[in-house]
Structure 1
Amino acid sequence: MQRISRKRTLITAALLGGAALTGTGLAGGATQPMPAPASTPLKATAALRDTAGQVRGTATFEQQGGGVRVSVTVSGLTPGQHGMHVHEFGRCTPGVDPATNTVVAFGGAGGHFDPGMSRNHDDPQADNHAGHGGDLPMLTVGADGTGRATFTTAKVSLTGMNGVLNRSLVIHAQPDDYRSDPSGMTGARERCGVITRDNFSVRDYPLPGPQDFPEGVAVDAARGVAYTGSAATGTIYAVNLNSGAVSTFAEGGGQGRASALGLKVDAQGRVWAAGGASGTVSVLRPDGFPVAILNTPKSPNAYVNDLTPAPDGNVYVTDSTRPVIFRVTPDLKLSAWLDLGGTPIRYAPGINLNGIVATPDGRALLTMQLNTGDLWRIDLRTKAVRRVMTGLTRGDGLLLDGRTLYVVRNAEQVITKVSLNADWTAGQIVAEEPLAGLRFPTTLAAIGGDLIVAQGQLDKLQGGTPETPFRLTRFRKF
């Protein structure tokens, strides 16, 4: 438990989750690809329902630069002003209202969306660090019971840290005083709609545990299985990619695995897991039985984060708090391979190196430094280190597909597509994808023409209420 608590503190203090958990890039057998992400500007719609479940209005959202244009039309309300807010969860179901601690209509939407963690209700012009991001202008309803509003706000977005996709728009019974916590004395929740991206679909794989916090994902194409590991418990699940059925592959808490961070499947079907603060690398047979538990040198500062097999037969391992790259040879011997102290990579507080992949030509490793946003190249022959690019803020897991690198950016809640040059020494961002609303994603893997991402929610690992069920999400390559 001490190791788990230490890991949670590391992640939460810096708002940096996870481990860089890289996918395997293996094909997905008989699985079918998902529809391709849209290339048009981001748009979303919420069908606004009353407490009886009848649709009584619509809200549309369109990304316009750094802001979102919102248009709302709703009927059947009392004339006058009504508070209107974005709420945290995409559930228009009964649930507990935190203001009254009672079960109310649309209580399942949770409290106000608060990306700046302000814990304060404020007006629609307040910075998100001063007030809830979900605090919107009021809706004015006419004598006929119809309310209309159109406005542009920079407090929310359809992508990034302020993203509202798969959250809820709620209209209340009373005006908003823009002062009183938690909801401005706006009274009952009268209309609710889930904000759903237009013309876009994904497939979710729900996980069974209420505290799973999935961090790694890896694919075994021969078995049609994706593996994902819990940052909180170390349990590793096997997910059938066709049926979605989930089984426990290996229980956490034993064999030195209190956390399961980066995951890989090797050519023998063995599952490799980075053990975080335990400082271990676990190697498991296809039936889940441990082959080896490899220990890095004892240290109060261990944070074994991710690993990757390379064409030279070795597996390379990152540590996010100790400036060293470890190597595991084919005979399962672990040693320190590269001391980063004499390289351009400078370790600082927070999560440092995490995601790591090997280039297919066997010449280099690419690795992500989360707390700086730098992507690095390490030559496997000379050990020379050079920066490939910067600006990948909150970059976490990596997946290399030819000369295309996918970077999962956890707190930014997007997946970034980078085009790399022929020798992996420079890259350029070509696209960013929020899917249908990512929740602190950590890593991704390839499944034929699709990708699958772990929505780790590691920002809720130390405190807060995660959205359950936790899930892996599958979508078409973009």
Structure 2
Amino acid sequence: MRRTLLLTVLSLGLASAGAAQSSLPLSASATLRDPAGTVLGNASFVQQGDGVRVSVQVRGLTPGQHGMHIHEFGRCTPGVDAATNKVVAFGGAGGHFDPGMSKNHDDPKAPNKYGHGGDLPMLTVGADGVGQANFTTTKASLTGENGILARSIVIHAKADDFKSDPAGMSGARERCGVIERDGLKVRDYALPGPQDFPEGVAYDAKKGVLYTGSAQNGTIYAINAQTGAVSKFQEGGALGRQIALGLDVDKQGRLWVAGGAQVLSPDGMTLKVLETPKSPRPYVNDLVMAPDGNVYVTDSSRPVIFRVNSKLELSAWLDLSKTPIRYQPGVNLNGIVVTPDGKYLLVMQLNTGDLWRIDLKTKAVKKVLGGLKNGDGLLLDGRTLYVARNKDQVVSKVSLSADYGSGQLVKEEPLAGLRFPATLARIGNDLVVTQAQLDRMGGTPETPFKLTRFAKF
């Protein structure tokens, strides 16, 4: 089997746009409504250490105790209840949030590996129909793997027995609110397909076009960055391209796509197929255009960095087995950028959380920084490096030294709620991140798939 590298020539002329957002302390709120849409309460969430402080006030419920849970999706719409296979009020919120993959309803104090992360204490309602609850939980957070931003809080009709699956016999869903971060503005670009899983992203500034590719089927979309209009630029599966991963646009306006298998002319004709050496486990993951005219390519399963020259000839440039970088089980090198002075490559090793610097002249390798667990795509802005950390559901900001040989983690941003962020692109003073949901492949993803645009932080 041969895994190849995709180059795509682009020719769409679209306008660029700006966006603005503000940054506030990490807190969130939800407006609670009944199935008719009437506002009957609210909930607030404030990050405290690794957990979150929750305050709920609601009215119009029957006296007594009511089950209360965080649900998977940020939708308070009718939908199918998986337990009964019937359409119910607020069924669009999905099942309980379960970051530990426990598949088990349990006590609100149970660790997430044993019970749903969305299992909360009950709400007590008085004789006047007014209920309130105030508590802190470490099962959920506003950031990281247990993040609940852009999910929903649901109050049920009955008490929760804290043991019966899927919801503790707590009955109908009577109140629902989407958990929205306070004070933050982002812009989402929605994709049309039910199985898009957008992994890579690149921006053509001359045309005002964002490009993203599907890790599931290889389809490439073009997005008007100003209007958000989406068109299918290249159908997946063409000439064997089943996946599309890292993307970049060169000075000629060509779009390079890692993980794919072809080169297209502006009218869609195949120009070139670049094949890497035959391997049982090829994983061409990401690429970057360097000032020297070459393109450098990472492979996440084979310890090598490939180089493609201006004649579109691919060769193995650096044997990583002879460097300090040690390949291990899982996804190894993935995200890659080049420094503005053209002297170095910076590459991310996802399974170790290590960031590496590679000298383009001497091929010397130096560890820059560790601790970037699940680091995926990179974007370098001067000496500021942004890292999409997929499973951690944050974008990290790293400040680098003048020689790019050391760095310090400055901030971690969950934005308005991320779902497996994979790669980044820049539009002026804004960044765009893909919400790839690769952890949902083979399962039930949250649709529509989207890319999220936000101001640099």
Considering the TM-score relative to the shorter chain, is it more than 0.5? yes
Quick one: distance in 2 between partners of 1:313 and 1:252? 28
Shift of 1:284: 3.6
Q: Map of 1:56-67 to 2, 5 A cutoff?
A: 56-67=40-51
Q: Map of 1:397-412 to 2, 5 A cutoff?
A: 397-412=377-392
Quick one: distance in 2 between partners of 1:328 and 1:473? 31
Residue 292 of structure 1: SS of its match in structure 2?
coil
Select the residue among 411, 426, 446 that pairs with 2:426: 446
Query: Structure 1 residues 333, 31: closer, same or farther in 2, change over 3 A?
Result: same
Select the residue among 236, 257, 281 that pairs with 1:301: 281
- 2:16–2:225 CA contact under 8 A, matched in 1: no
Residue 134 (structure 2) aligns with: 150
Q: Which one-letter code corresponds to 2:18 in the other structure?
A: Q
Residue 222 (structure 1) aligns with: 206
Quick one: distance in 2 between partners of 1:341 and 1:71? 53
Residue 338 (structure 1) aligns with: 318
Quick one: distance in 2 between partners of 1:289 and 1:71? 59
Q: Please tell me whether residue 233 in structure 1 is matched to residue 217 in structure 2.
A: yes
Q: Map of 1:275-294 to 2, 5 A cutoff?
A: 275=259, 282-294=262-274
Q: Map of 1:254-403 to 2, 5 A cutoff?
A: 254-275=238-259, 282-403=262-383
- 1:29–1:448 CA contact under 8 A, matched in 2: no
Residue 149 of structure 1: SS of its match in structure 2?
strand
Shift of 1:199: 1.1
Residue 238 of structure 2: SS of its match in structure 1?
coil
Quick one: distance in 2 between partners of 1:295 and 1:323? 16
Quick one: distance in 2 between partners of 1:375 and 1:255? 35
Quick one: distance in 2 between partners of 1:55 and 1:286? 52
Quick one: distance in 2 between partners of 1:282 and 1:186? 54
Residue 455 (structure 2) aligns with: 476
Residue 412 (structure 2) aligns with: 432
Q: Please tell me whether residue 467 in structure 1 is matched to residue 446 in structure 2.
A: yes
Quick one: distance in 2 between partners of 1:239 and 1:323? 34
State the number of aligned residues. Answer: 447
- 1:249–1:288 CA contact under 8 A, matched in 2: no
Shift of 1:65: 1.3
Cα RMSD for the two superposed structures: 1.4
- 1:81–1:175 CA contact under 8 A, matched in 2: yes
Deviations 1:401-449 (A, max 9, x none): 0000000000000000000000110010111111110011101100001
Q: Using the aligned pairs only, state the percent identity.
A: 71
Quick one: distance in 1 between partners of 2:264 and 2:383? 30
Residue 212 (structure 1) aligns with: 196
Q: Which one-letter code corresponds to 2:451 in the other structure?
A: L
Q: Which one-letter code corresponds to 1:432 in the other structure?
A: E
Q: Which one-letter code corresponds to 2:154 in the other structure?
A: V
- 2:15–2:224 CA contact under 8 A, matched in 1: no
Quick one: distance in 2 between partners of 1:329 and 1:439? 35
Quick one: distance in 2 between partners of 1:358 and 1:283? 23
Residue 271 of structure 2: SS of its match in structure 1?
strand
Shift of 1:200: 1.1
Task: Give ranges in structure 2 of 5+ residues lacking alignment.
Answer: 4-13
Shift of 1:286: 4.5
Task: Give ranges in structure 1 of 5+ residues lacking alignment.
Answer: 5-27
Deviations 1:361-411 (A, max 9, x none): 111100000000000001101111111000000000000000000000000
Select the residue among 457, 467, 475 that pairs with 2:437: 457
Query: Structure 1 residues 139, 3: closer, same or farther in 2, change over 3 A?
Result: farther
Q: Please tell me whether residue 248 in structure 1 is matched to residue 232 in structure 2.
A: yes
- 2:421–2:433 CA contact under 8 A, matched in 1: yes
Q: Which one-letter code corresponds to 1:473 in the other structure?
A: T
Residue 74 (structure 1) aligns with: 58
Residue 7 (structure 2) aligns with: none
Residue 394 (structure 2) aligns with: 414
Shift of 1:335: 0.4
Query: Structure 1 residues 218, 287: closer, same or farther in 2, change over 3 A?
Result: farther
User: What is the TM-score with the length of structure 1 in the denominator?
Assistant: 0.92
Shift of 1:29: 6.2
Select the residue among 105, 117, 130 that pairs with 1:121: 105
- 1:272–1:282 CA contact under 8 A, matched in 2: no
Deviations 1:311-334 (A, max 9, x none): 111000000000000000001000
Query: Structure 1 residues 159, 287: closer, same or farther in 2, change over 3 A?
Result: farther
Q: Please tell me whether residue 33 in structure 1 is matched to residue 19 in structure 2.
A: yes
Residue 272 of structure 1: SS of its match in structure 2?
strand
Q: Which one-letter code corresponds to 1:328 in the other structure?
A: V
Residue 310 of structure 2: SS of its match in structure 1?
coil
Quick one: distance in 2 between partners of 1:256 and 1:273? 14
Residue 12 (structure 1) aligns with: none
Quick one: distance in 2 between partners of 1:205 and 1:325? 32
Residue 149 (structure 2) aligns with: 165
Q: Which one-letter code corresponds to 1:151 in the other structure?
A: F
Residue 22 (structure 1) aligns with: none
The structure, 1 or 2, with the larger RCO (C-alpha pairs under 8 Å, 6+ apart) is: 1
Residue 169 (structure 2) aligns with: 185
Residue 108 of structure 1: SS of its match in structure 2?
helix
Deviations 1:71-100 (A, max 9, x none): 000001010000000000000000011121
Residue 170 of structure 2: SS of its match in structure 1?
coil
- 2:379–2:387 CA contact under 8 A, matched in 1: yes
